[in-house]
A and B are shown apart, each in its own frame.
Chain A
Amino acid sequence: MILDLLYHIIIYPLEIAMQGVLNYSFILTGNYGISIIILSIIVNIVLLPIYYIAEDWKKNGKIIQDKMAPEIEAIKKYYKGQERHYYIQTIYRRYNYHPLSSVKSSIGFLIQIPFFFAAFHLLSNFQPLNGVEFFIIDDLGKADGIIFGINLLPILMTVINILSSYIYIKDLSKSERNQILGLAFLFLILLYNEPAGLLLYWTLNNLFSLLKNFTEKELLKNFNANIIYNYDISIFNWFFKNKENIDKLLKDNKRIARAANRRVTIVIGRSY
Chain B
Amino acid sequence: MKNNIFKRVFLLILLTTPLYAYLDPGTGSMLIYFIIGIFATLIYSIKNLFYKFKLFILSLKGEQIKLDDNLDIVFYSEGGKYWSLFKPFIQALENENIKMAYYTQDNKDDGLNYKANNLITKSFGNELKATVGMNHLKANIVIMTTPQLDIMRLIRSKGVKHYSHLIHAPTDALIYKKFAFDYFDSIMCSGEHQIESIRELEKNRKLPEKLLLKTGLLYYDTMVKDIAKCKKNITENSKKTILIAPTWGSNSMLTKFGFEFLKPLLNGEFNIIFRPHPQFYISQKELITSIETELKKYQDIVTIDNNPSGLCSMNSSDIMISDVSGIIFDYLFVCKKPIVLVGSKIETGGLEAEDVSKEVWEATVFDKIATVIDENNHNNILEIVNNSLKNKDNIDIENFIQESIYNFGNSAETAKNQILDILNEIKK
Using CB atoms and an 8 Å cutoff, list the residues of chain A in contact with chain B.
3, 7, 54-55, 58, 61, 71, 74-75, 77-79, 82-83, 85-87, 89-90, 94, 98-103, 105-106, 109-110, 112-113, 116-117, 120-121, 124-125, 161, 164-165, 167-169, 179-180, 183-184, 186-187, 190, 206, 209, 213
Are A184 and B40 in contact (CB-based, < 8 A)? no
User: How many angstroms between the C-alpha atoms of A213 and B27 in the bound complex?
Assistant: 12
Residues of chain A contacted by B5 (CB below 8 angstroms): 3
Residues of chain B contacted by A169 (CB below 8 angstroms): 21, 25-26, 28-29
The secondary structure that dominates the A interface is helix
Are B24 and A209 in contact (CB-based, < 8 A)? yes
- With A99-B40, A102-B37, A106-B37 already in contact, the answer to whether A78 and B350 are too (CB < 8 A) is yes
B65 in the interface (beta carbon within 8 A): no
A230 to chain B, nearest CB (A): 27
User: How many angstroms between the C-alpha atoms of A71 and B179 in the bound complex?
Assistant: 12
B30 in the interface (beta carbon within 8 A): yes
Are A112 and B40 in contact (CB-based, < 8 A)? no
Which partner residue on chain B sits nearest A98 by CB separation? B41
The residue that B33 contacts in the complex, of A94, A106, A167, with Cβ under 8 A, is A106
Of residues 359 through 410 on chain B, the ones whose CB sits less than 8 Å from some CB of chain A are: none
B31 in the interface (beta carbon within 8 A): yes
- 20 additional A-B residue pairs with CB within 8 Å, beyond A89-B48, A102-B41: A7-B8, A54-B30, A83-B152, A85-B51, A86-B51, A86-B151, A87-B179, A94-B207, A101-B37, A102-B37, A103-B41, A116-B11, A117-B11, A124-B7, A165-B25, A168-B25, A169-B28, A179-B19, A183-B14, A206-B23
Residues of chain A contacted by B287 (CB below 8 angstroms): none
Residues of chain B contacted by A3 (CB below 8 angstroms): 5, 8-9, 12
B22 in the interface (beta carbon within 8 A): yes
Most interface-central of B21, B29, B349 (chain A CB within 10 A): B21
Are A87 and B21 in contact (CB-based, < 8 A)? no
- With A94-B207, A103-B38 already in contact, the answer to whether A112 and B8 are too (CB < 8 A) is no
- With A77-B350, A90-B151 already in contact, the answer to whether A100 and B30 are too (CB < 8 A) is no
B200 in the interface (beta carbon within 8 A): no
User: How many angstroms between the C-alpha atoms of A46 and B207 in the bound complex?
Assistant: 42
Are A180 and B19 in contact (CB-based, < 8 A)? yes
Which partner residue on chain A sits nearest B42 by CB separation? A99
Which partner residue on chain B sits nearest A213 by CB separation? B25
Residues of chain A contacted by B19 (CB below 8 angstroms): 179-180, 183
B56 in the interface (beta carbon within 8 A): no
18 cross-chain CB contacts under 8 A: A3-B12, A77-B349, A79-B350, A85-B51, A86-B51, A86-B151, A94-B207, A101-B37, A102-B36, A103-B41, A106-B34, A106-B37, A109-B34, A116-B11, A116-B15, A117-B11, A120-B8, A180-B19
B302-327 Cβ-contact flags toward A at 8 Å (1 or 0) = 00000000000000000000000000
Residues of chain B contacted by A206 (CB below 8 angstroms): 23-24
User: How many angstroms between the C-alpha atoms of A58 and B34 in the bound complex?
Assistant: 10
